[in-house]
Chains A and B, each alone.
Chain A
């Protein structure tokens, strides 16, 4: 039985065809999230991988509290980047397995909405994982959560930049052999600026710096997010079109 067709995009939004992309973007993201939660395999694997990784990192860097505190922001973002590369394949994995990618591409209208739908899906997954990760790093690495609104904002900006690139590459490589190896290879160099800025912002917040001093890094993150989302959404239809 075809899993992807059980939760259909087109039949629900079929009443309002091709004209407006926005509802379709949400339906696509919703469908993928539903499938992800029904399947569970991807998310569970990512969270379990993270937990193991944090334990190993804690053993390798600890047990001094000061050492762990110093490493916490770096650990948070490196783990998120690794988990993200595990999850990136999920964006188009099911479509390729079930052979529904062509149906998706054949849907009338522009192709950008597919990118934005998948991007939203990846963003939601990453944010969920990031929340779990934030709690785990707070517990294992003594990352102070006192400035939690600012921390959440940093995580939000960082994941947008990461998801923009990972969704794009996942789509580009969807049908290739050896994509599991290629994806991190292409993904990591490009997300380094995002991860760097996010680590710096998180480290500043962890040290208890006022928000005004972290704002520079947020601005940099915003610029990267805007550039990556714009360029990727413009390139996506050109690079995927059959």
Chain B
């Protein structure tokens, strides 16, 4: 008989709880924030679009760190976490792409246009889809970990390109309202608050999902080795 395991550890449970609570608070703030001067209520999609894109970038950055750490210390756990980061990153970057398209249709008149931010983001998405395909193609766990770590590191070069694309190529997509490189804020206080709460909620949810996915992989691996 196999011992029934607890569904997760305490830290993960707390993170999930905190993330979901903040998400609800963020939702309230997002609806309570004043409408945009030009776009009106339409701009509220920003409170979903920006945090998803942020978590996408954050996840790929975390995949970079875990991949580099794997190549240094060669611990299977690090490889699992890198894979988990990429999976979560793809989900959130996909969400950012979809919400971006929904936002683009009423403001720019089209769902998709070949401008730098959209193109670099789509490329970023393709790079990490390749990462997952590569993982599924290799059976030997050692080789899989090494190869995917290399792809995880190389692929991360595209993250700063995608982030900076709106500045380098003065594109159709607007520039950052909360600029990480200069620290300038270009929006109303209530909107900043709503955005920050949502960013925090999404980031905490990312950590929670990462830990959950890591646990799941670990137990899956244990079951396989026991069988």
A239 touches B137 (CB 8 A): no
Contacts of A227 in B (CB 8 A): 157
On whether A186 and B157 interact (CB within 8 A), knowing A238-B71, A238-B146, the answer reads no
A176 touches B71 (CB 8 A): no
On whether A173 and B154 interact (CB within 8 A), knowing A189-B126, A189-B127, the answer reads no
On whether A235 and B154 interact (CB within 8 A), knowing A176-B138, A182-B133, the answer reads yes
A189 touches B123 (CB 8 A): yes
Q: Can you name the residue of chain A whose Cβ is closest to the Cβ of B138?
A: A176
Q: Can you name the residue of chain A whose Cβ is closest to the Cβ of B142?
A: A242
How many Å lie between the Cα of A188 and that of B151 in the bound state? 13
Asked if B51 lies at the interface with its beta carbon under 8 angstroms from chain A, I say: no
Asked if B19 lies at the interface with its beta carbon under 8 angstroms from chain A, I say: no
Asked if A61 lies at the interface with its beta carbon under 8 angstroms from chain B, I say: no
Asked if A232 lies at the interface with its beta carbon under 8 angstroms from chain B, I say: yes
Contacts of A189 in B (CB 8 A): 123-124, 126-127, 130, 155, 158
A182 touches B134 (CB 8 A): yes
A178 touches B137 (CB 8 A): yes
Asked if B149 lies at the interface with its beta carbon under 8 angstroms from chain A, I say: yes
A239 touches B150 (CB 8 A): yes
Interface centre among A178, A182, A228, by most B CB within 10 Å?
A182
Asked if A190 lies at the interface with its beta carbon under 8 angstroms from chain B, I say: yes
Contacts of A232 in B (CB 8 A): 154
Contacts of B137 in A (CB 8 A): 176-178, 182
Contacts of A239 in B (CB 8 A): 71, 146-147, 149-150
Give chain B interface residues in 60-96, CB to chain A under 8 Å.
Answer: 71
A interface, over-half SS:
helix
Give chain B interface residues in 4-41, CB to chain A under 8 Å.
Answer: none
- Whole-angstrom distance from the CB of A27 to the nearest CB of chain B? 26
Give chain A interface residues in 183-242, CB to chain B under 8 Å.
Answer: 185-186, 188-190, 192-193, 227-228, 231-232, 235, 238-241
Asked if B153 lies at the interface with its beta carbon under 8 angstroms from chain A, I say: yes
- Whole-angstrom distance from the CB of A188 to the nearest CB of chain B? 8
Contacts of B161 in A (CB 8 A): 193
A235 touches B153 (CB 8 A): yes
- Whole-angstrom distance from the CB of A204 to the nearest CB of chain B? 15
Contacts of A177 in B (CB 8 A): 137
Asked if A145 lies at the interface with its beta carbon under 8 angstroms from chain B, I say: no
Q: Can you name the residue of chain B whose Cβ is closest to the Cβ of A193?
A: B161
Q: Can you name the residue of chain B whose Cβ is closest to the Cβ of A178?
A: B137
- Whole-angstrom distance from the CB of A58 to the nearest CB of chain B? 23
- Whole-angstrom distance from the CB of A36 to the nearest CB of chain B? 26
Contacts of A241 in B (CB 8 A): 146
How many Å lie between the Cα of A188 and that of B124 in the bound state? 11
Interface centre among B71, B124, B154, by most A CB within 10 Å?
B154
Interface string of B115-156 (1 = CB under 8 A from A): 000000001101100100110011000000011011101110
On whether A185 and B150 interact (CB within 8 A), knowing A176-B138, A227-B157, A238-B71, the answer reads no
On whether A185 and B133 interact (CB within 8 A), knowing A190-B127, A231-B154, the answer reads yes
Pick from B124, B150, B155, B158: contact of A172, CB below 8 A.
Answer: B150
Pick from A176, A178, A185, A231: contact of B157, CB below 8 A.
Answer: A231
B153 touches A231 (CB 8 A): yes
Residues of B within 8 A of A (CB): 71, 123-124, 126-127, 130, 133-134, 137-138, 146-147, 149-151, 153-155, 157-158, 161
Residues of A within 8 A of B (CB): 165, 168, 172-173, 176-178, 182, 185-186, 188-190, 192-193, 227-228, 231-232, 235, 238-241
**Interface contacts beyond A168-B150, A182-B134: sample of 11 additional A-B pairs, CB < 8 Å, sorted by A:** A173-B147, A185-B130, A185-B133, A190-B158, A231-B154, A235-B150, A235-B153, A238-B149, A239-B71, A239-B146, A239-B149
